[in-house]
Amino acid sequence: ILNVEQSPQSLHVQEGDSTNFTCSFPSSNFYALHWYRWETAKSPEALFVMTLNGDEKKKGRISATLNTKEGYSYLYIKGSQPEDSATYLCAAHNFNKFYFGSGTKLNVKP
């Protein structure tokens, strides 16, 4: 079992602010780290998959980094917009199944 933790649990920022949140996981028995964006009443949408230590991925204003040695990943949002409001989930998997964190709920105020 992989124990995946996310922080903070929730975050309120103003439009235009940059923000970041953390996903931590056990560094042993790990294969890949996934980030999902989940809007209410919709299905979680895949953002990034990372496997190698030092991996960095970017998609528009959103980017993520991975440190497998110390067991954490950061998700960054540059210049937050109201449409970025959602719950951001990370999930680690070890070949067989995904282990999810509880998510960081982001609210961007106009």
Partner 1 sequence: EAGVTQFPSHSVIEKGQTVTLRCDPISGHDNLYWYRRVMGKEIKFLLHFVKESKQDESGMPNNRFLAERTGGTYSTLKVQPAELEDSGVYFCASSQRAGVRMTEAFFGQGTRLTVV
Q: Which is nearer to partner 1, 75 or 80 (CB)?
A: 75
CB of 69 to partner 1, least distance (A): 21
16 binds partner 1 (CB under 8 A): no
Q: For residue 41, state whether it binds partner 1 (rule: CB under 8 A).
A: yes
Q: 82, 30 in Cβ contact below 8 A?
A: no
Choose one: 16-24, 54-62, 71-79, 93-101; the region binding partner 1 (CB under 8 A).
Answer: 93-101
Confirm or reject binding of residue 34 to partner 1 (CB under 8 A).
Answer: yes
Q: Residue 59 and residue 34: Cα distance in Å, rounded?
A: 14
Phi/psi at 83 (5° precision): -70, -10
CB of 97 to partner 1, least distance (A): 5
Longest Cα–Cα distance of the chain, Å, equals: 42
The 10 Å CB-count burial string (b at 16+, else e) for 45-61 is: eebbebeeeebebeeee
**Nearest distance from C-beta of residue 104 to partner 1, angstroms:** 12
